[in-house]
Amino acid sequence: MAQLLVRNIDEEVVKRLRLRAASHGRSVEAEHREILRQALSEDPRPAFKEIAAKVRELMADRQHTPSEILQREGRDER
């Protein structure tokens, strides 16, 4: 396994980490690992709703052809 060394941590942060570790019944090192695991296990990809909202925003000012017209044109091309 890899090792990380973190320097220049504010004393208040270290104190809070110690308290948090104690409240979870873990060592400071184990608590640090758990915090990193939780923080990095979240899916960084945006949700579908966020993507759909962005697409709607991008397309808001554009002229759209109704689907029934596109279907009719597609049938006529055959």
Q: What is the pLDDT of residue 44?
A: 78
pLDDT digits (tens, 9 = 90+) for 36-75: 999 898 777 888 999 999 999 999 988 888 999 999 998 9
| Residue ranges covered by each domain of the chain | 11-77
pLDDT of residue 32: 95
Compute the distance between CA of residue 73 and CA of residue 62 in angstroms, rounded to an integer.
20
Q: Which residues of 26-59 are buried (b: 16+ CB within 10 A; e: fewer)?
A: eeeeebbeeeeeeeeeeeeeeeeeeeeeeeeeee
